[in-house]
Structure 1
Amino acid sequence: MKYTLKYTLIITLFFILSSCGNSSEKRTYIKSPVDNLITTYIDQQNFSVILADMNYDESKNSYFHKYRIIIPKTQKASSEKTENDFEIVNTDWKKVTPITFEKHQNDLGMTILSKKEGVLDKKTAPAGYDNYVGNSNYGEWKTNSNGSSFWAFYGQYAFMRSMFGWGSGYRNYRYDYDDYGSYRGSRNFYGRNNTYGTKNYKNTNSTWAKKPESFKQRVQSNVKKSASSMRSSGYSSNRSYSNSTNKTTRTSNAYSSSSTRSRSGGFGK
């Protein structure tokens, strides 16, 4: 009887501690706007999410992102494709945690979430690399005067340069794209010589690009401290998802039904 009571108390204590641990995990997890985008576009087989802009409000100590979502529509019978073959959604400013801002501080103008043929990819890559660059339906590789191969969209798809936020003189070289093929889905990719991302973003119309370097340095310092403080307090803004559409359902407790869509159409910031 004495031993039975002892083991009963041990088992009870185990379940109490386990329950507290699970409760703590739910309490400290903070969803990011990217999580909501996964929910919103979960039924799409192909889409891309680009970090279109970012900002920091010093008076409120708050961090923000803007996203551009690109969704290819069902292909038409006509061989002449236009901008109407894509649904473009430009979100309003979305408040993000210091952890999320720090995670993507080098990703301006990059694809930070994509799905290709139902497979989800949360690794950062140059805009367009996930579904369009290297796809013979949209363009071809050409060779310049020094022998380097670069990607060129067909005439009817020239608008895609603006869709991806590529500035004048922006080129995607074959050696970078080939390297990306080796790393896709396994790690973030910024080009062989780190030629892509925030420091080299060519869209000078973005809010972030217009900020002075002194401001950017302050933000970098502040977000590092804030993110570290959040993590030490047990907070997290990162959630793992299944790579397969078939394994990712709307009933998962990782998701919320709220939508981030604000307006669609056009390529403005």
Structure 2
Amino acid sequence: MAGKTEFMFQKILTGLILLGVLVFLAGCGGGLPKELKKEAESLPGAIKTSLSLVDKHQEKYEGQTGSSDFKSLERFALKEDWPSKFQQARDELNRAKEVYDKELSPLVKKNTPELAPEVQKQTARAKQILKDAEDLYRYPSSRLSSLLDTRKNAGAIHSRAKTDASTIREIAARIKEGPMAKGLLDFPETAEKINARFSPLAKLDTDSLDHLGRVKAEYERHTSGAEADYALLTDSAKALSTGLEQAKTLEASLSKDLAGLYSSYTKILKDMKEEYIVTIKRESWDENAEYDDPVTVAFQREVSPELYEVLAQENLDEIAVITAGFMGSNLKSNIGDAWKELSINPLDQWPRGHNAASFYVEDIKETYFHQYILEENGETRETGWEQVDESVYEANLEFLGMAILAKPYGMFEQDRLVQAAPPGMAYVGNPKYGEWKEDNSGDRFWSWYGKYALFSSLFFSPPFFYNYNSWNGWHNNYRYQKPYFGETKNGIPQYGTHGAYVKQSPRFQSTTFAQSGGFKERSPSVRGAGEGIRGGGPGSKGK
């Protein structure tokens, strides 16, 4: 017993030393990230350097004003007030200094890690002001150089502008006469959204004509010897070059978006399950030994939610102990009959000569899974178990048997439906999938085309059908707004985990979720209950 006491004292002493080291390290490294702090503290120097650069660029510009090149273009300097750019740059740099002094410096002096996001934000703000100031003080000389280049190379610039404008028009026509025209023909109900997506490219097309007209007019003045507006020629040619790059980007995105109109899919939550895995460790020793020789063995078990909740208690140090006695070793459970559910042989891999042990929870984790029915372009398949985040699992707990994602034909990918609804409801009313019919009573119902019949036989046989009133209510009041569980009768909805259809459906009654008692109310403390003890063990348990 003396050896055991000495061993426990050594463990406590080691723990205290480790705790002291951690506290010391936390004190040393508890400030702002090193690189972020360094970046922020460099700003005053950067501002000072920028102020000196303003002076140098102004001096350079003033030296240029005496040249014949400048005199020939001086009217543009006067019109655009180039000299004022230097004072504007100084004003910006003074603003950057004010941001640093009033907003950033106090945060850096506090030097606490929780201020890092705000320090990063204010640093980025100050750096952007520095960039704006640089653009200002460089502008006069840069603008002069640009206009001189335009005058010298007006022919090449004119030719390039015509090519850019022509290419923009070709891109717009290619989209308009190709995938856009086809989309409008195949999906007339989506015409407004198709036209809206094409609108930016159409504007580039129209603007290109205006820009090219200005380029041509100023180029004609240039070639005729008249006074040309080289600033207008420069800016219009640049607008065409920039517009071409934008048109290329829009062509790629529009082609992809329009092609997406021809895809269709629905994701139905077929089943879900939670797995609770615990790692139990046994530390054993010889009570009669002069020195301690503990041996640790781990047992991993999947447990029920109820047992998981028991094992996840924060104040649970030991779940069982083996003590030495005259008649041999004895096992005592600290969790009652719950110990039996673990199915652990307490003497499994028992070290020779040991007669005492402690069992404790070393690790505990929850894992969540979904199974789906996927319908894609009329083809249906079922997935295996797919692991999902706890947040995803929690968000979809009420949606068993429902479509949690849907995109019909004729809908853009960005407009897909993410609000849970009865499976196939997103397709109802779309002639690609079926048609409205009337029963003997004159009530309208949706009749699916053959390969979409899954949606009418998902819960029962013979099949059921969506009536017009149900679909109309969803379409007008729930679509893109909130989940739709169908009509409620006697307080029970039609669809979803607690809906009448799921609870009466043989398909869903045989799911893992149902068989594991998923339809029963469960304590909200179960999920996430083990977060506080993960990574536990003798050190963190006080053994």
| Range into which the TM-score falls when normalised by the shorter chain | 0.5 to 0.7
Change (3 A) 1:20 1:205: same
* 1:161 corresponding residue in structure 2: 453
Give SS of 1:178's match: helix
**Partners of 1:228 and 1:210 in 2: how far apart?**
19
CA contact (8 A) 1:68 1:89 kept: yes
Match of 2:495 among 179, 190, 196: 196
CA contact (8 A) 2:369 2:387 kept: yes
Residue correspondence of structure 1 range 1-269 to structure 2 within 5 A: 8-12=104-108, 13=110, 16-19=113-116, 44-45=260-261, 46-57=264-275, 59-60=302-303, 62-72=367-377, 86-115=378-407, 116-118=411-413, 119-130=415-426, 132-154=427-449, 157=450, 159-162=451-454, 165-168=458-461, 169-182=463-476, 183-193=478-488, 194-198=493-497, 199=499, 200-201=501-502, 203-206=505-508, 207-208=510-511, 211=514, 215-218=517-520, 220-222=521-523, 224-227=524-527
Give SS of 2:473's match: helix
CA contact (8 A) 1:53 1:108 kept: yes
Structure 1 residue 216: Cα displacement: 2.4
**Partners of 1:178 and 1:7 in 2: how far apart?**
55
* TM-score, normalisation: structure 1: 0.57
**Partners of 1:177 and 1:160 in 2: how far apart?**
17
**Partners of 1:209 and 1:16 in 2: how far apart?**
45
Structure 1 residue 208: Cα displacement: 2.5
* TM-score, normalisation: structure 2: 0.31
Q: Which has the larger share of strand?
A: 1
Paired amino acid for 2:417: D
CA contact (8 A) 1:151 1:172 kept: yes
Change (3 A) 1:11 1:50: same
Give SS of 2:416's match: strand
**Partners of 2:506 and 2:424 in 1: how far apart?**
19
Structure 1 residue 51: Cα displacement: 0.8
**Partners of 1:113 and 1:185 in 2: how far apart?**
11
CA contact (8 A) 1:98 1:226 kept: no
* 2:231 corresponding residue in structure 1: none
CA contact (8 A) 1:203 1:209 kept: no
Change (3 A) 1:93 1:19: farther
**Partners of 1:134 and 1:55 in 2: how far apart?**
34
Change (3 A) 1:8 1:68: same
Change (3 A) 1:67 1:5: same
Structure 1 residue 7: Cα displacement: 5.9
CA contact (8 A) 1:70 1:87 kept: yes
**Partners of 2:111 and 2:265 in 1: how far apart?**
44
What do you get for the CA RMSD once the two structures are aligned?
3.9
**Partners of 2:275 and 2:441 in 1: how far apart?**
45
**Partners of 1:71 and 1:64 in 2: how far apart?**
22
Change (3 A) 1:7 1:49: closer
**Partners of 2:448 and 2:455 in 1: how far apart?**
12
Change (3 A) 1:108 1:100: same
Structure 1 residue 123: Cα displacement: 0.6
CA contact (8 A) 1:204 1:210 kept: no
Structure 1 residue 152: Cα displacement: 1.2
Paired amino acid for 1:117: F
CA contact (8 A) 1:102 1:227 kept: no
**Partners of 2:379 and 2:116 in 1: how far apart?**
44
Change (3 A) 1:5 1:121: same
Q: Which has the larger share of helix?
A: 2
**Partners of 2:102 and 2:430 in 1: how far apart?**
67
**Partners of 1:91 and 1:102 in 2: how far apart?**
20
Give SS of 2:482's match: coil
Q: Which has the higher contact order (CA 8 A, sep 6+)?
A: 1
Give SS of 1:191's match: coil
**Partners of 2:398 and 2:383 in 1: how far apart?**
20
